[in-house]
Amino acid sequence: MPINVPFEIMVRDDVDSLSEAVVDVLEKRLAERVDHGLTKPLGLATGRTMEPIYSALVGRLKSWPDSLLDSLLDGWSSFNLDEYVGIGDGYSRSFCTYMKLHLGIELGLTPEQLSIPNGLADNPFKEASRYRQDLERSGGLGLLLLGLGSNGHLGFNEPPCGPKEACRVVSLSASTREQNSFAFGGNLTDVPKRAITLGLSEILAAEEIHLVVTGEAKANILSSFLNSSCSDHLPASWLKIHERVVVWADQAAFKSF
Ligand code: GLP
């Protein structure tokens, strides 16, 4: 069935070849960053989808000549999408720890270079506002990597969510807490009930967006996303108003087409 969507869809056989293809683009953009002094921070996601991508990216960057890699890392600035409220640095399940493990330690990046909301802040509402202002001062997002939640969320923008929502504290839905309980040893009660997330407004203001969707479990939501018009009930559908989106999928997620 032909799909009428306003963006490119890149499909690869499996997760490995898809990750390498995404990293081809990332590597090119990062090299341009060094060459042309591009300053807008990267936007980064967490989750299982991103793990093979960060692993491939680290491998690729480590093969760069030292001087090029040093220039890239000296100028590195990224902002993550989200963090749970109540956990953070020092907590094994936090997105802060995830980023340290998958990117920070491997590449020698400092916490200041890898920005992420502080889930341990005394006042999460003030923290969300600080994070939004920090991103604004840094010029907003350049290239943004996104995963897709099983209910169509981006970051932690749970349905219903409109395109003007900004960085804020949100309550997580039962289905999202269930989806993410794998990272808490399967203990649903350990999954925090709230999070701080960049909103769709900061996401849609990114210069270029790459949405990555893998695995059979995402086939239904990918199909709904590709076939739906923009609706608050499927937050990811608002990507259709952005001019530079690429959707990356493996065959397992894309199979229903
Ligand atoms: C999580 C995160 C998102 C992530 C998405 C998909 O809840 N907040 O940033 O992209 O859901 O996660 P996964 O890649 O594990 O399927």
Answer yes or no: is pLDDT of 1 > 50.
no
pLDDT the model gives residue 18 = 98
User: Over 70: is that where the pLDDT of 141 sits?
Assistant: yes
Whose tokens are 């600035």? That residue is 77
Q: What is the mean pLDDT of residues 71-89?
A: 97
133 close to 170: Cβ distance less than 8 angstroms:
no
For 40, 45, 60, 74, 185, the CA distances from 180, given in Å and listed in that order, are 30, 14, 28, 33, 10
Best substitution site from 19, 46, 51 to test ligand 1's pocket, by max atoms within 8 Å of Cβ?
46
> Is 82 a known active-site residue?
yes
Q: How confident is the model at residue 256 (pLDDT cuts 50, 70, 90)?
A: low
Residues 162-191 have pLDDT tens digits of: 999 999 999 999 999 999 999 999 999 999
pLDDT at 227: 94
Q: Is 70 exceeded by the pLDDT of residue 117?
A: yes
The active-site residue, picked from 82, 83, 165, 250, is 82
Percent of the chain exceeding pLDDT 90 equals 93
> Residue 129 carries which side chain, given as an amino acid letter?
S
Beta bridge partners, 9, equal 247
- Residue 82 CA: which ligand 1 atom is closest? 8
Regarding pTM above 0.85, the answer is yes
Strand (E) or helix (H) holding 32:
helix 15-36
Residues 92-113 have a mean pLDDT of: 97
| Percent of the chain at pLDDT exceeding 70 | 97
Predicted confidence (pLDDT) per residue in 219-241, tens digit: 999 999 999 999 999 999 999 99
Q: How far is the CA of 46 from the centre of ligand 1 (A)?
A: 6
Residues 6+ positions from 169 with CB-CB distance below 8 Å:
85, 124, 125, 128, 194, 195, 196
- Pick 7 or 140 by higher pLDDT: 140
What mean pLDDT, rounded, does the chain reach?
Answer: 95
What b/e sequence results for 35-48 when a residue is b if at least 16 CB atoms lie within 10 Å of its CB, and e otherwise? eeebebbbbbbbbe
DSSP 88: -
Residues with CB under 6 A from ligand 1: 45-49, 81-82, 147, 149, 155-156, 176, 180
Between 6 and 81, whose confidence is greater?
A: 81
